[in-house]
Amino acid sequence: MRLTSLHLREIRMPLKEPFRISSGAQTLRRMLLVAATDEEGRVGWGECTAGEEPNYSSETIDTAWLAIREWVAPRLLGREIAAADEVWPLLEHNFRGHSMAKAAVEVAFWDLEAQRRGLSLAALLGEGRGEIRQEIEVGISLGIQASPRALAEKAAACLARGYRKIKIKIGPGEDLEYVAAVREALGPAAPLMADANNAYGREDFDHLAALDAFDLLMIEQPLACDDLLRHAELQKRLRTPICLDESITNLDRAEDMVALDAGRIVNIKVGRVGGIASALAIHDFCRSRGVPVWCGGMLESGIGRAVNVALASLPGFTIPGDISPSERYWQRDVVNPEWTMDERGRIRIPQAPGLGVVVDLDRIEDLTTRAEVLLAR
């Protein structure tokens, strides 16, 4: 493969309802989409999952745009690349950080390779990893609500809709009472977890230990993203498994988590770890060590969701991911068909080559607020 151009687009999509976590609320999603064209005219798509502000990671959509233009594109445009898994080493050598910027372009190469070989993205990722699933179970992530009762009612409606896992966001002052209300509404057997997004510290250990009473699947990222030692201290205090999200930025960090027993479940996000090759390495390691993994969401469009669906089809993903259908967040998505979930809480894995969905260029043009084309020299 030889990349002849990268087309960057910023689109803006309003959320159907505000989504609030411990660090703030969001009503509009600015997204950076990447269209990569090869020498035979095929177009591969990627989506940068960086946020508008540096509150999930240090990256933002604006820093990612700069990083792609100045450092990612010059390493890849016009270069002969035999396979998509060669991209990650090229972007990691003497190039620190900017994982979400790297991932947006690296994913487009995987889409191109899948198209070139006539494979679905799921089939390409699954090569050598055993039989991939034909469908995946779907979980949902619920933002912090106005009251425990409001959260419990929303969670109950989602369980009745068919979702196979209910994740609720928590934060200091909006945690125990909220979790208790949801557990009471859903019953003792419902698959329930809590996500703190780094909101707590060592001084909160006794408070967090009270969550053991609710028989949660996991507590996700309770402490700072760079603090594996305190996560290990907390895990010793808890019966509930800790799941690490922001802390797992590469394979080394997953290995450290296991060595320290700083967590017992991993949330894999392609953007956070720098691309599909890195995500596969983490999946393979965790699977070899019996560590469950699942796929987290970043309020992606249908393009990013296609990558999540393909990744979650792999055998190590034994917990439903945050891969809700398009209508959960958007009045209208940017792909056809839109992502849908059946009454059993499952999404079918597309079999068509590449992402398995058609990118709606007219819809994207309508939503585009800026664009830039980078060409091979």
- With 80 as the cut, is the pLDDT of residue 293 above it? yes
CA atoms of 211 and 352, how far apart (whole Å): 43
Question: What is d(CA 29, CA 51) in angstroms, rounded to the nearest whole number?
Answer: 8
Exactly one of 154, 165, 167, 269 is catalytic; name it.
Answer: 269
Over residues 92-116, the pLDDT tens digits come to 999 999 999 999 999 999 999 999 9
Q: Burial letters for 151-160: b for 16+ Cβ neighbours within 10 Å, e otherwise? A: bbebbbebbe
CB atoms within 10 A of CB 188: 9
Residue 89's pLDDT band, with cuts at 50, 70 and 90, is: very high
Q: Are 19 and 143 in contact (CB under 8 A)?
A: yes
pLDDT of residue 131: 81
Q: At residue 21, does pLDDT exceed 90?
A: no
Q: Is residue 41 within 8 Å of 94, Cβ to Cβ?
A: no
Dihedral sign from CA coordinates of 346, 352, 354, 359: negative
pTM of the model: 0.96
Give yes or no: 169 in active site. yes
Q: Is the pLDDT of residue 132 over 90?
A: no
- Helices 228-237 and 251-260 pack at an angle, to 10 degrees, of 40
> What pLDDT, in 10s, does the model give residues 301-325?
999 999 999 999 999 999 999 999 9
Spell out the residues 6+ positions from residue 8 whose beta carbon is closer than 8 angstroms to its own: 32, 33, 34, 65, 68, 69, 371, 372, 373, 374
Closest Cα to residue 274, out of 107, 51, 74? Answer: 107
The answer to whether 165 is a known catalytic residue is: no
Catalytic residue selected from 102, 154, 167, 169: 169
Band of the pLDDT at 130, cuts 50, 70, 90? confident
The pLDDT of residue 23 is above 80: no
Is 80 exceeded by the pLDDT of residue 216? yes
For the chain, what is the mean pLDDT? 96
**Single-letter code of the amino acid located at 342:** D
The rounded distance, in Å, linking the Cα atoms of 370 and 367 is 9
Segment 232-276, tens digit of pLDDT: 999 999 999 999 999 999 999 999 999 999 999 999 999 999 999
Q: Please report the pLDDT score of residue 239 as a whole number.
A: 98
Q: What would the mean pLDDT of 329-357 be, rounded to a whole number?
A: 97
Between residues 17 and 117, which one has the greater pLDDT?
117
The percent of residues above 90 in pLDDT, for the chain, comes to 96
